[in-house]
Amino acid sequence: MNFDHDVVFTWNGTTSGVRAPHGDWIPDDRQGLTICDATSAIFAMELPWHKLDVITFSWQKVLGGEGGHGMLILSPRAVARLESYSPPWPLPKIFRMTSGGKLSESLFKGDTINTPSMLCVADYLDALQWCESVGGAAGTMARSRANLKVIEDFVAAHPWISFLARSPETRSNTSVCLALDLPEDRVKQLTKLLEAEGVAYDIGSYKDAPPGIRIWCGATVEQADLQALMPWLAWGYEQVRG
């Protein structure tokens, strides 16, 4: 199967806590480019790099850094597209990545189009140094998996709570979304109760997601903190279930 057109997708959907189980569905002989938003996945999950052509991410998620700054990773296929395509309209300078029909490689070696915030650059370097201190990307992935395991063990022991992503193969280990056997108003009571107790903030599911809770389990979260949270979930459930 060929992809005649470019395909854009999110590797880890933070709204539903669902991620792609693998990249086998992306054909090697594709004609289009696969464009992947990996912001909530990179440094926490293995990615099928040979299947991806344009990967975007930020260090605001798993590395716990400043938000609002995107990074771009290009495959050779994406570079070939840039060098062979001439847009029929003028591009603003900040979007130009080629010069004279060739990729401006200097952009990936430290040159800038507009002056960035040096504070944000220092923040990213600090995040990468922390990443190295815990074992590099393999270490941050292991920390995220261990965090998910805390919640998996809790869910297995309590029948009133379940993963929104039913299949373990598609379950996110960063934005972990959970469903409760409570009506929506009771779920809201639970999240407000946890906030009032100073236990958890902004733990409710996204407004477009089914009622429930979501817990960030990225590498910057300490496993012990999640272990401390689990009894509070059980306590809160008993308080609101009626």
Number of domain units in the chain: 2
Structural domain harbouring 21? 7-133
pLDDT of residue 17: 67
Rounded to two decimals, the pTM is: 0.87
Residues 160 and 226 both lie in one domain: yes
Q: What is the DSSP string of 203-237?
A: -BPPTTSPSSEEEE--TTS-HHHHHHHHHHHHHHH
3-state secondary structure of 148: helix
Annotate 177-192 with b (16+ C-beta within 10 A) or e (fewer). bbbbebeeebbebbbe
Residues 50 and 98 both lie in one domain: yes
Q: Is residue 2 one of the residues assigned to a domain?
A: no
- Nearest 5°: CA angle at 70, between 69 and 73? 150
pLDDT along the chain (242 residues), means of 10: 67 67 85 90 93 92 87 92 88 82 85 79 93 97 98 98 91 94 95 96 88 95 97 97 83
Which of 79, 109, 133 represents a domain boundary (last residue)? 133
Residues 61 and 176 both lie in one domain: no
Can you tell me the distance from the alpha carbon of 180 to that of 242, in angstroms, rounded to the nearest whole number? 14
Residues 129 and 141 both lie in one domain: no
pLDDT of residue 64: 93
